[in-house]
Amino acid sequence: MHLLALSLNYKKVPIEFREKLAFAESELAAAMATLKESQSVFENVILSTCNRTEIYAVVDQKKRGEDYLKRFLASWFHLSITTFSGFLDIYQELEVANYLFRVTCGLESLIVGEEQILSQVKSSFLFAQENQATGSVLNTLFKSAITLSKKAHTETLLSRNSVSVGSAAVQLTKNIWSDLSDKKAAVIGAGQMSELSAKYIAAQKIAGLSIANRTYEKAQKLAERYHAQAVKLTELEQSLTEVDFVFSSTSSKSFILDESLIRIVQAKRGDKPLILFDLAVPRDIEPTVRSIRGVKLYDIDDLESLVKFNKSERQKAEKEVENMILKATDEFENWLSAQQVTPIIAELQEKSMQIQEKVMETIDHKLTDLSTHDRKVINKLTKSIVNQLLRDPILTVKSLTTDENSPEKLTLFKEIFKLSEDKKH
């Protein structure tokens, strides 16, 4: 049993590749089921956001598990492994725990310390649980990560010096127009990112906010929450002629705003400035709209160079969180080590008791005149002998959980007592 994680994230992977490797929400259940059906994969959780596509898994063998996960990604997205292998980060064993803790606390985010990733990790984990894709190892790991993140954001100043991608985009509009009171905005989409964008925009007391979505009822619900106007996608062209900036974050596989539409919109607007924020992966807005007069387009990757932080304050908070992560990783290591020896101890005890039972059967055949009382005494004494003989081996195997050569020594222990290899749980 081994922990493994594969990550394709914004630090290495340009957005034009990330959008090719993003799981649609409707695909996740089938993807996790496909992984679970493999003999190599015992447990799995898929985390797919605008900034990262990651698979966390418990596998039977490290090399075989890694090869299988790569082939799975290639097959699912109809790509060759060489297309993305150069961008891939691979984590093994406790590296997986440490990395997941960093991700969930926001230390690996584009906007360091942002809290949206906690919600995304939690949703991905709960969805995996609902689809029976997880087991004891990932259940414990992800619960630990979620608890740690909440503690980190509560007990340190990490969140105070961070913003989400949506709020960073709103801040950028304030840098462009210092006064937003006479500006109008549109949000396209009704998911989590869109709701956060609507929340930040509404807080600026702008002149008007419209929300468009493929499902009009969802647009209406979000619009009611933030005192906005719901718009049907068929009415989007007219709506865009009336706004100054647009936030788009849908799960569409094709462009919501293409160059031809924006050219029509700008012609009606008289080429007045139009700021477009594409917060989706795959992208919602065709990149060539940048060539249109008066249009400025910012995508997820552009925001990385636009966000400014209070660096010294944030770095101090980061250090505190990193220390918390090291402690949490140690705690998970202790738990994981205990889980590795528990089945070994159970099998050793079961095997020993089977021997004791066979001895009792032999005694029954050879000493047929034993009274019920005498048989109970012998049975009790032979069990006591077995337990006393097992005492030192059990204490020894428990001590191996903290040994730096634990895997090798546990393997030797199993060989000495002729215990079976790990089985798929």
Closest CA to 53 of 97, 8, 95: 8
Closest CA to 47 of 37, 36, 55, 57: 55
Is 51 annotated for ligand binding?
yes
Supply φ then ψ for residue 418, to 5 degrees.
55, 50
Nearest-Å Rg of the Cα atoms of the chain is: 29
Is 190 annotated for ligand binding?
yes
Q: Which long-range contacts (CB under 8 A, 24 or more apart) does 213-221 make?
A: 213/188, 213/189, 213/250, 214/250, 214/252, 215/190, 218/190, 219/190, 221/190
Is 149 annotated for ligand binding?
no
User: How far apart, in whole angstroms, are the C-alpha atoms of residue 325 and residue 99?
Assistant: 9
Instruction: Find out whether 114 and 106 touch, Cβ atoms under 8 Å.
Output: yes
Query: How many CA atoms lie less than 13 Å away from 55 in the CB half-sphere?
Result: 32
Is 116 annotated for ligand binding?
yes
Asked about 105 being catalytic, the answer comes back as no
Is 113 annotated for ligand binding?
no
Tokens of 290: 């940048």
Is 134 annotated for ligand binding?
no
Is 50 annotated for ligand binding?
yes
Of 4, 8, 32, 50, which residue is the catalytic one?
A: 50
Render the burial of 172-189: b for 16+ CB within 10 Å, e for the rest.
bbeeeeeebeebbbbbbb
Is 65 annotated for ligand binding?
no
What angle (nearest 5°) sits at the alpha carbon of residue 294, between those of residues 288 and 296?
55
The structure tokens 């925001």 sit at 303
Is 194 annotated for ligand binding?
yes
What angle (nearest 5°) sits at the alpha carbon of residue 15, between those of residues 10 and 17?
100
Is 189 annotated for ligand binding?
yes
Closest CA to 188 of 172, 166, 155: 166
Binding-site positions for NADP(+) read 189-194
Binding site for substrate, by residue number, is 49-52, 109, 114-116, 120
Annotated binding site: 49-52, 109, 114-116, 120, 189-194
Catalytic residue list: 50
